Amino acid sequence: MARRLVAGNWKMHGLGADLAEVAAVAAAPAAGCEVLLCLPATLLHRGAALAQGRIALGGQDCHRAGQGAHTGDISAAMLADAGATHVILGHSERRADHAETDAMVAAKAQAAQGAGLVAVVCLGETLGDRDAGRTLEVVAAQLAGSVPEGVDLARLVLAYEPVWAIGTGRTPTEAQIAEVHGALRAGLAARFGAAAADVPLLYGGSVKPGNAAAIFAVPDVDGALVGGASLKAAEFLAIVGALAGR
């Protein structure tokens, strides 16, 4: 049975004053599920001091190389050194804004696991893909290309985020989420066997306190990757509570 996880992605938000939200989340540990906040790299070290191991912290990207002449980039080892245990990879915003391919995501996932981090690999279709009936084809191709050979399944999380639902207030129907998550679970099983059942499958895309419980009731949904609602502890903890209470 996959472990349950609620992850927050702060994206390019957050200054030192906002660390109070990290402290508030860490002060309310949830029974029955893991809690993760993926902060800007500038806040990770200070955030780790506040989290004190009660919640996990993660980065939002890493370079595929361990070190080198890559001005402005950050390695997986640097994230771990700053206090991260996880890193988000292949988010649709990175794929679109930085032209990241599946192969690049796979290389980053390999680097992340090499540094001891859990790789949170994001997958998801555009509205054009959805309207063309290509959702399962697109997500299957991303799964095949973005998860590297030899991956450590114990340090892998998959997050399904339909691009058209991120930050828009729109969400797929529960049946649509179930279809994609079921296909992801089947795809993992076909590739990795029974051990794939332990890999958490998160749903992301306009997850809010008001819709979290319904999303968590969908088969093969083991948690959520939360964007805007993770910036305020009260909203994020309400989502955590919806999963922890199941």
Mean pLDDT of 72-98: 97
What pLDDT digit, counting tens, does each position of 188-213 carry?
A: 999 999 999 999 999 999 999 999 99
Residue 136's pLDDT is 98
Residue 167's pLDDT is 83
Share of the chain above pLDDT 90, in %: 93
User: 3-state class of 2 per DSSP?
Assistant: coil
The pLDDT-based confidence of 171 (bands split at 50, 70, 90) is confident
Residue 217's pLDDT is 97
Whole-structure pTM value:
0.97
Question: Would residue 34 show up in a list of annotated catalytic residues for this protein?
Answer: no
Mean pLDDT of 222-238: 97
Rg of the Cα trace of the chain?
17
**DSSP for residue 33:** S
Residue 168's pLDDT is 83
What pLDDT digit, counting tens, does each position of 16-46 carry?
A: 999 999 999 999 977 889 999 999 999 999 9
User: 3-state class of 150 per DSSP?
Assistant: coil
Residue 32's pLDDT is 84
Other beta carbons within 10 Å of 186: 13
Catalytic residue among 21, 161, 181, 235: 161
Residue 191's pLDDT is 97
pLDDT score of 144 more than 80: yes
Closest CA to 227 of 246, 245, 244, 203: 203
Question: Would residue 149 show up in a list of annotated catalytic residues for this protein?
Answer: no
Residue 242's pLDDT is 96
Residue 169's pLDDT is 84
pLDDT score of 1 more than 80: no
Mean pLDDT of 107-130: 97
Closest CA to 40 of 108, 87, 92, 97: 87
Show me where the domains of the chain are located: 62-76+102-116, 124-152+163-196+208-218
Other beta carbons within 10 Å of 77: 18
Residue 29's pLDDT is 73
Phi, psi angles (nearest 5°) of residue 196: -65, -20
Task: Compute CA 17 distance to the chain's CA centroid, rounded to the nearest angstrom.
Answer: 24
Catalytic residue among 63, 91, 100, 181: 91
pLDDT score of 4 more than 80: yes
